[in-house]
Structure 1
Amino acid sequence: MLILGLAVTLIVWTPALLLGLGIGLAVLTGCHVDEGNRHPCVICGLDLGGLLYTLHVMGWLMIPMLPFMGITILVGLWMGLSALAGARWA
């Protein structure tokens, strides 16, 4: 059951993680990225503009995932507080 919960949490949070990765790479490389169009971003001879664009657009998938992301946060808090209180899991 724990493995299933972790898998669901990872799937639900994947768009947010990919958006964060895209923004982080854009900031570190000094490239311009937005959801309107891909912009060239040459790093070490490779154009990563398309990759950064794709990672940035993944943020739009967070909109339908927000309720499920909230549920994972609430369940995680509940499990953490129960563990702190000394409750035993069946």
Structure 2
Amino acid sequence: MMLILTAIVWTPALLLALGLGLAFLTGCHVDEGSRHPCVICGLDLGGLLYTLTMMGWLMIPMLPFMVLTLLVGLGSGMWALVRGWWA
């Protein structure tokens, strides 16, 4: 259950990273003002890149939950490390 919640909470950050990475690799201009044409292999991917980068705005309300998943993940990882070390 925690894995599913973590995936849902971190999806906007991953989509933002994907959009920025694609824009960087293709040399396309992306900003929050409007979509810009970005033709790759005959397809205009400007709208897709714009949508992916706008997912970053969803990170604002998700930020507390993202921090919580990080803390729970680090805590459980430390617990497993300590438990494995003592066993």
TM over 0.5: yes
Q: Which amino acid counterpart does residue 5 of structure 2 have in structure 1?
A: V
Unpaired stretches in structure 1, ≥5 consecutive residues: none
Q: Which runs of 4+ in 1 moved over 3 A?
A: none
Does residue 55 (structure 1) correspond to residue 21 (structure 2)? The answer is no
Cα RMSD (Å) of the superposition? Answer: 0.8
Unpaired stretches in structure 2, ≥5 consecutive residues: none
Equivalent residue for 1:24, pick from 18, 21, 28: 21
Partner Cα distance (2:54, 2:75) in 1:
32
Shift of 1:19: 0.0
1:72 corresponding residue in structure 2: 69
Q: Percent identity?
A: 75
Size of the alignment, in residue pairs? 84
Task: Give the TM-score, by structure 1 length.
Answer: 0.92
Partner Cα distance (2:39, 2:74) in 1:
42
Q: Which amino acid counterpart does residue 69 of structure 2 have in structure 1?
A: T
Partner Cα distance (2:53, 2:32) in 1:
7
